[in-house]
Amino acid sequence: MAADLLYEIGIEEIPADMVLPALEQLEQALGQGLSRLRLEHGEITTYGTPRRLAIVVEGVDERQDDRVEEVKGPPAQAAFDGDGNATQAALGFAQSRGVEVSELEVRSTDKGEFVFAQVSQPGKAAAEVLPGLLREATEGLTFRKTMRWGDLDLRFARPIRWLVALLAGEVLDLEVAGVHAGRVTRGHRIIGSSAPEISSPDEYLSLLETNGVIADHRRRGEVIVAQAAELAAAQGHRLRINPDVLAEVNFLVECPLCIMGSFSPDYLKLPEEVVVTVLQGHQKALAVEDEAGNLVPNFIAVTNADPAAAETVREGWERVIVPRLDDARFYYEHDMRKPLRTRREELRDVTFLANLGSLYDKTQRLVEVVGWLAEHIADIPEQDAQIARQAAELAKCDQVTMMVSDGKLGEALQGIIGGYYACASGEPEEVAQAIAEQFRPQQPGDLIPVSPGGRLLSLADKIDQLVACFRLGKIPKGSADPYALRRQAAGIIEITVQSGYRFSLSGLIGRALQLLPQPEGAEGVLAVPEVAQRLKDFFGERLQAVWEQRGIDYDIGRAVLSTVWDDIADATARAELLAELRKSQPEVFNELVTAAERPARITRPAQIPEMAEVEATLFEHSTERQLADEFAAARQEIDVLLSGEAPDYGQAAEVMRGLLPTVHQYFEDVMVMVEDDVLRHNRLALLRSLDQLFLRLADFLEIVPSGE
């Protein structure tokens, strides 16, 4: 027999960004907990609104399976005397486990003979064990910010106000934070019943919907898009979709009501990004555009209000948006009175990071790092390098403008508004574009800078932020990353790979570290060599994560990163090649792995130096000479294939694979580990050279064979 489980945690409204992470935790906790409790179940589905976290588990077994557990008791010598009679130790053990002495078994273990008992554990009813699991899952939820209420010890996002816990139609005996579970939920605050009763889990969604709540956040999001798109289409326009804004407004409402509002077309004289940021960032409204993609003086508000009050809500929303747009227009007009370049001196008074100078100092470093990049990346025209240097000089000047100083606007508009101000100040268009693009990409999936100057400036800005934070010991730990350093490193990786830039990562880190001032009086400062190594390792971790997102298997990533690597684009090219080989030509891939593994497994434990010399005069078998000759030819060909700015790893892998027949024959004909030290060392040296050749592609010992 099986029954559906419904669990709903009713809370005061929580911040929108906390809902999905909590639902993911709840789903994981119940999935793992049900397995631990030996309760089979069907599909698990979560539902969330600002006021509730809910989960439905289909087909939960109504009773645990019976289980027989083997329990180890005292040593046999202590359990039975010389005549085989049970001692008090055996009697006590049998009684404690609820078995007869005659049922005890003596078995041999690696620590001697011991007494064992087979203990039957009848399964318990699901209704008996589920309350403990639900309580544990609830109290185990974590949030970025928590609070306590009353005299309770529980910390939660917001106070828990009601609980629903139903197995089929029966209420589970559960209490959390002084709240007892029942079957009474809560409808919409305005248009729903305050206490609807749920008879069974299968009516959960429909009952709430009749009480003004769309509990399924997936469907609620679809409703928002459909309503908003319909309103826009009625005006001959279309909705400008921003996934982040949609996700946020979805968890601000329980029953969305989309309302079209408007503002004066005069505000469209502002940069489009400014207007959109006011609408979306300030007011969580959706922007509207015409068929050509141009912003129009309308917005769509997503509210939780009674439809009867729609007109009042629209008027109120418009009254709020206009002052925000007025503020933005005032900032823009005021900032435009002063040329951007004249603001550079003001940066001397703005701290970059405590103990690491000012933003003026940072701009000086950016100019130097941009120059290093232009010098060390092939085919960067001097004109692009000059544009990047000019942009670096002005990159942070918008930080002292009124627009960026506004906390609601600044984070979204920094750099972008600087580009507008630079253009208005008479700076070259290419310089303005580079300034506007300096923070790209900010999130996974964002576009990288389009212009070469923007790419160089973005790389310089990100590496400066990374070395500065690592120098001060501000390194991400666990999920904590207050300076978004993982995002900065991922941005460098994306720009480098998509642009095909080849340069020494260690060289870039070293140059950026060299330019940092000596931190004075700061705690937790790391030595420069440690920073360089930890940052290189950090990039390795980020590369692994980026590759996995692109579908590259973990073991392939490890195989590449276990070699000597110092070029992000080069390492990525190797990982992509191996991933494609494994997918499209598995036999070729396996042959390559086999050819590389055999020399590696026998030589690395022997710790043969990488550059150990091979004496051809010591060869005793023709296969030794054949392998040495083929290796020399292969190495020469691979040297050519991997030289220059466009190494051909695919062809190099084919050359390496071609050595496989002779490698196999070598191990058939030649005894490597002979007693003669000189002969053994010479044979190991040849195989070590072969191992080094394969390591130019990957460390194939890291590859996990198929099926493992």
Residues 116 and 174 in one domain: no
Q: Which residue has the tokens 């509730």?
A: 52
Mean pLDDT of 244-266: 95
* Structural domain includes residue 568: no
CA dist 371 and 437 (Å) reads 18
Q: Find the mean pLDDT for residues 316-321.
A: 94
Average pLDDT over residues 475-483: 87
How is residue 505 written in tokens?
Answer: 């990562």
Nearest to 34 by CA among 134, 163, 105, 157: 134
Co-location of 433 and 454 in the same domain: yes
* Alpha helix positions (H), 550-585: 554-561, 568-584
**Is pLDDT at 222 greater than 70 in this prediction?**
yes
User: Which pLDDT tens digit goes with each residue over 635-651?
Assistant: 999 999 998 778 999 99
- The per-residue pLDDT for 707 is 52
**Residue 429 resides in a domain:** yes
Whether residue 547 is contained in a domain is answered as: no
Q: Which of 348-362, 465-479, 606-620 has the lowest mean pLDDT?
A: 606-620
- Whether residue 426 is contained in a domain is answered as yes
Q: What is the pTM of this model?
A: 0.83
Q: With 90 as the cut, is the pLDDT of residue 118 above it?
A: no
- Whether the bond between 441 and the residue before it is cis, its omega within 30 degrees of 0, is yes
**Residue 258: CA atoms inside 13 Å, Cβ hemisphere, count?**
24
Closest CA to 44 of 82, 8, 5: 5
Q: How many C-beta atoms lie closer than 10 Å to residue 706's C-beta?
A: 9
DSSP 281: I
pLDDT value at residue 62? 92
DSSP 670: -
User: Of 161, 183, 210, which closes a domain?
Assistant: 210
Strands 67-75 and 170-171: unpaired
pLDDT of residue 569: 94
Whether 139 and 181 map to the same domain: the answer is yes
Cα 214-177-189 angle, rounded to 5 deg: 30
- The CA–CA distances, whole Å, from 645 to 39, 372, 379, 383 equal 58, 18, 10, 21
Domain stop point among 511, 527, 543: 527
Rounded to an integer, the average pLDDT of 414-427 is 97
Q: Which of 210, 226, 252 is the last residue of a domain?
A: 210
Do 361 and 508 have their domain in common?
yes
Q: Which two tokens stand for residue 683?
A: 């044979």
Grade residue 282 by pLDDT with cuts at 50, 70 and 90: confident
Q: In terms of domains, do 187 and 267 share one?
A: no
Q: Does one domain contain both 155 and 95?
A: no
Q: Is 496 a member of any domain?
A: yes
28 and 83 co-located in one domain: no
Is 90 exceeded by the pLDDT of residue 283?
no
| Domain total in the chain | 5
Residue 96 lies in a domain: yes
CA distance 196 to 211: 8
Pairing of strands 295-303, 286-289: antiparallel
Regarding whether 449 and 460 lie in a shared domain, the answer is yes
Q: What CATH number is given to the structural domain containing 193?
A: 3.30.70
| Predicted confidence (pLDDT) per residue in 581-623, tens digit | 999 999 989 989 988 998 999 988 888 877 778 999 999 999 9
Same domain, 60 and 75: no
In sign, the C-alpha dihedral spanning 69, 74, 80, 85 is: negative
Query: What's the whole-number mean pLDDT along residues 228-235?
Result: 96
Where b means 16+ CB within 10 Å and e means fewer, 521-537 reads eeeeebebeebbeebee
Spatial contact of 352 and 362, defined as CB atoms under 8 Å apart: yes
Q: What is the pLDDT of residue 241?
A: 87
Q: Are residues 52 and 149 in the same domain?
A: yes
Indicate the burial class of 266 (C-beta count within 10 angstroms; 0-12, 13-18, 19 or more). exposed
**Domain span including residue 88:** 67-121
Residue 543's nearest CA partner among 482, 467, 492, 484 is 492
**Co-location of 27 and 136 in the same domain:** yes
Let me know whether 223 and 205 are in one domain: no
